[in-house]
């Protein structure tokens, strides 16, 4: 081995120890005293460079980015190809759970429910949670479940801190952050879909006069009753035809409002309790676990704040506000086809040529001042 190559290896080994194992420059130099003079200035320069280039993303950007990613995932999910072996209809999942319970004994699943990270049944606990999520039929149920699971994760973090299992603290905190992200995303999706349903409720009256009216003014009964006599025949038929769907939409909307109110109360409690519990854990946590917990506190506060603001806004909305919501939700399910471009260049293929191929169209890309704002211009995300 040439001397240069040997020195490059030693330099890299020292850097690896400094960067990942927390070793000091002095400790590295003691390992290689014969190279100390040459190594020291390089190691110190590398450490200054590393420290200076450690520029963290802001909490606001983190939250905004997470929201945008989930929106993208929703749009793309419909078209995602799934291998036949991993796709299971709901009844297969139910059958699987029944089988697991029968084979392992119901007691196993029950016992697993209170298991903690690092214990033998913890995997069963997580698997059971996944099944519960799969079986949850609505976004509201799923959002509630994610909030409940966040509670469980906090209890597990407390356990891991108490037992001094620091790696588990980090892992469980990541899971907690994911649950909070999913809770936030699903709660906002609930709001979006219900707003869209409210807008679709009015009958699709074909009359031009009716069409010219803003959507919020075209409530079906009013539009039928207020038509001039020359157009009475058609609107009446239209009103009869649409009474069913509109009544159904109203009843669905009423149910949606109830669900939302329930969700708001539940999340309101978690919004207070979970950050408080995490702050209490922060005081007991060793130094190395603090950054992860601090991040979880920030995410928890930001997630609940955003969701509750949205849910509260929704409950306070007057009909005039609906246009704002329509703009806000316009990107979501309706635009699902906008990124059919699954043919992205395999990114590892050397130079990208995004102008010619793989990239999503301009409208689909994330731009500052456009889609980087999470929820229209409300600035609700902080």
Site of interaction with other proteins (CB under 8 A): 4-5, 7-9, 11-12, 15-16, 19-20, 41-42, 45-46, 48-50, 52-57, 61-62, 65-66, 68-70, 72-73, 76-77, 80-83, 86, 170, 174-175, 177-178, 181-182, 339, 341-342, 344-348, 350-352, 354-355, 358-360, 365-368, 372
Nearer to other proteins, 216 or 364 (CB): 364
Closer residue to other proteins in complex, CB, 205/296? 296
Tell the residue number behind the tokens 């280039």, with chain if given: 53
Residue number, 48 or 237, with CB nearest to other proteins: 48
Rounded Cα gap, residues 191 and 183, in angstroms:
12
Shortest Å distance, C-beta 278 to other proteins = 16
- CA-to-CA distance for 49 and 39, rounded, in angstroms? 15
Q: Which is nearer to other proteins, 170 or 252 (CB)?
A: 170
Cβ distance to other proteins smaller for residue 102 or 348: 348
Least Å distance, CB 226 to other proteins, is: 46
In the bound complex, what is the minimum distance in angstroms from residue 76's beta carbon to other proteins?
6
The Cα–Cα gap between 55 and 66 comes to: 19
Write the CB contacts of 188 (distance below 8 Å, at least 6 apart in sequence): 67, 306, 307, 310, 375
- For other proteins, give the closer residue by CB, 138 or 342: 342
Contact 302, 63 (CB under 8 A): yes
The answer to whether 246 and 220 are in contact (CB under 8 A) is: yes
Q: CB-based burial of residue 333 (10 Å sphere; 0-12 exposed, 13-18 middle, 19+ buried)?
A: middle
Structure tokens at 193: 């879909």
Q: Which is nearer to other proteins, 62 or 234 (CB)?
A: 62
Secondary structure of residue 55 in the 3-state scheme: coil
Q: Shortest gap between Cβ of 144 and other proteins (angstroms)? A: 16
Q: Of the candidates 319, 320, 306, which has an alpha carbon nearest to the alpha carbon of residue 378?
A: 306
Residue 151 CB, nearest approach to other proteins (Å): 17
Contacts of 291 (CB under 8 A, 6+ apart): none
- 157: helix, strand or coil: helix
Mark out the alpha helices in the chain (DSSP H runs): 3-16, 25-31, 36-53, 59-77, 90-104, 106-113, 122-135, 139-162, 166-200, 208-212, 220-225, 233-284, 290-316, 322-329
Angle at 7 between CA 5 and CA 10, to 5 degrees: 110
Give min distance, CB of 4 to other proteins, in A.
7
* Distance in angstroms (rounded) separating the CA atoms of residues 23 and 39: 15
* Shortest spacing between CB 234 and other proteins, in angstroms: 46
What's the min distance (Å) between Cβ of 174 and other proteins?
6
Angle at which helix 290-316 crosses helix 166-200, to 10 degrees, equals 10
**Least distance from other proteins to the Cβ atom of residue 344, Å:** 4
By beta-carbon proximity to other proteins, the closer residue of 151 and 321 is 151
| Interatomic CA distance for residues 247 and 205, integer angstroms | 16
Closer CB to other proteins, 170 or 321, in the complex: 170
């Amino acid at each position: 081995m040439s001397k240069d190559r040997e020195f490059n290896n030693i330099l890299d080994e020292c850097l690896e120890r400094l960067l990942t194992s927390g070793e000091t420059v002095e400790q590295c130099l003691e390992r290689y005293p014969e190279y100390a003079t040459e190594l020291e200035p390089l190691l110190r320069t590398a450490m200054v460079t590393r420290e200076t280039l450690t520029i963290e993303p802001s909490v606001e950007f983190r939250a905004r980015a997470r929201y945008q990613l989930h929106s993208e995932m929703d749009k793309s999910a419909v078209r995602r190809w799934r291998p036949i072996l991993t796709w299971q209809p709901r009844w297969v999942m139910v059958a699987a759970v029944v089988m697991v319970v029968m084979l392992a004994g119901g007691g196993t699943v029950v016992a697993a429910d209170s298991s903690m990270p690092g214990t033998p049944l913890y995997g069963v606990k997580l698997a059971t949670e996944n099944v519960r999520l799969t079986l949850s039929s609505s976004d509201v149920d799923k959002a509630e479940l994610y909030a409940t699971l966040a509670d469980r994760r906090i209890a597990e973090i407390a356990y891991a801190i108490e037992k001094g299992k620091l790696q588990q603290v980090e892992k469980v905190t990541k899971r907690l952050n994911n649950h909070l992200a999913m809770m936030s995303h699903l709660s906002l999706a609930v709001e979006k879909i219900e707003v869209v349903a409210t807008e679709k409720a009015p009958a699709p009256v074909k009359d031009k006069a009716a069409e010219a009216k803003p959507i919020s003014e075209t409530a079906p009964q009013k539009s039928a009753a207020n038509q001039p006599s020359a157009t009475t025949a058609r609107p009446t038929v239209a009103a009869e035809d649409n009474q069913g769907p509109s009544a159904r939409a109203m009843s669905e909307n009423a149910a949606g409002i109830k669900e939302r109110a329930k969700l708001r109360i539940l999340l309101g409690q978690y919004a207070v309790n979970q950050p408080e519990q995490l702050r209490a854990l922060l005081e007991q946590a060793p130094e190395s676990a603090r950054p992860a917990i601090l991040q979880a506190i920030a995410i928890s506060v930001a997630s609940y704040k955003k969701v509750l603001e949205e849910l509260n806004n929704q409950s306070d909305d007057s009909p005039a506000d609906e246009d704002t919501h329509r703009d806000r939700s316009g990107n979501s399910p309706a635009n699902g086809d906008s990124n059919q471009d699954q043919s992205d260049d395999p990114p590892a293929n050397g130079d990208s040529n995004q102008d010619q191929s793989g990239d999503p169209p301009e409208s689909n890309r994330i731009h500052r001042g456009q889609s980087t704002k999470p929820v229209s211009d409300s600035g609700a995300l902080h």
